[in-house]
Amino acid sequence: MSRFSLTLVSIFALSLAACDRSAPDAAQESGASSAASGEIDRGNAGALMPAANLRDLEERELNLGAVQGTPVLLNLWATWCAPCIKEMPLLDELAGDYGESLRVLTVSQDMGGPDKVADFFAQNRFDHLESWMDPQAELGFALGGGSLPTTVMYDAQGQEVWRVRGDYDWSSEEARAAIDAVLAN
C-alpha cells in the first residue's frame, strides 16, 4: 500500500473516531467507551514517544525523538474538534503555570495546511502554546489513531506515563496531581 493510501486510511480512521463537533459533551455523558472517556489511562505506560517529525507555522521541524530531558505533555487536536477547542485555553494556562519544567506540545491533525491553525492561534492569542502540525497524521497513527483530543504524558526519558482520550479538565486537581507526580520523578 502506498504512503498516500496509508495517509488516506489514517485520515478516514481519525475522522470516524474523532470528536463530534455538534455535541462534544453528549458523547461523554452517553456512556462513551473508555477509549474516549476523558480519564487517565496508564495502559500504555513505558511506551517510547514516537520519533515523528512535526512542523510549526514557520516550517521549522521538530523531531519528537530528540525531545528528551524534560517531561512532555503531547496533545493531538484539530480546529474542527469542539472538545479540542475547549481544551486549548486550559492547556495554554497549564503551560504557563509549569513553565520550563513541562513542555506542552499541541499538535494539529488538520489536513488543510497551516492557514487554519495560524488563524486559530491568532484568534485565541495563546501565550504559552507552540503551534505544531502533523499534516500526514503520522503521529496520530503512531499513537493508535482513535479519538481527538488525545493527550499523552511522557517522562523526561521519553517514556509514556499515561494518556487521556477525549475531553479533560486540565485545570482540575486530578490533572495537576498526575502531572506533579511525573515531575517529581
Give the DSSP letter of residue 47.
P
pLDDT of residue 45: 97
Residue 4 has pLDDT above 60, yes or no: no
- Distance CA(129)–CA(105), nearest Å, equals 7
Contact 152, 47 (CB under 8 A): no
Question: pLDDT, tens digit, for every residue of 66-92?
Answer: 888 999 999 999 999 999 999 999 999
- The range of the structural domain enclosing residue 19 comes to 3-184
Total domains in the chain come to 1
| Proportion of the chain above pLDDT 90, given as a percent | 61
Question: pLDDT, tens digit, for every residue of 114-140?
Answer: 999 999 999 999 999 988 998 778 898
Contact 51, 72 (CB under 8 A): no
* pLDDT, mean of residues 57-61: 90
- CATH code, domain carrying 51: 3.40.30.10
pLDDT of residue 20: 43
**DSSP E strands: which ranges in 19-80?**
40-41, 53-56, 61-63, 72-77
- Give me the chain's average pLDDT, please: 83
pTM comes to 0.81
DSSP H or E segment with residue 133: strand 130-133
Residue with cell 472538545: 83
**DSSP E strands: which ranges in 82-125?**
103-108
Question: pLDDT, tens digit, for every residue of 19-46?
Answer: 544 333 333 332 333 344 789 999 999 9
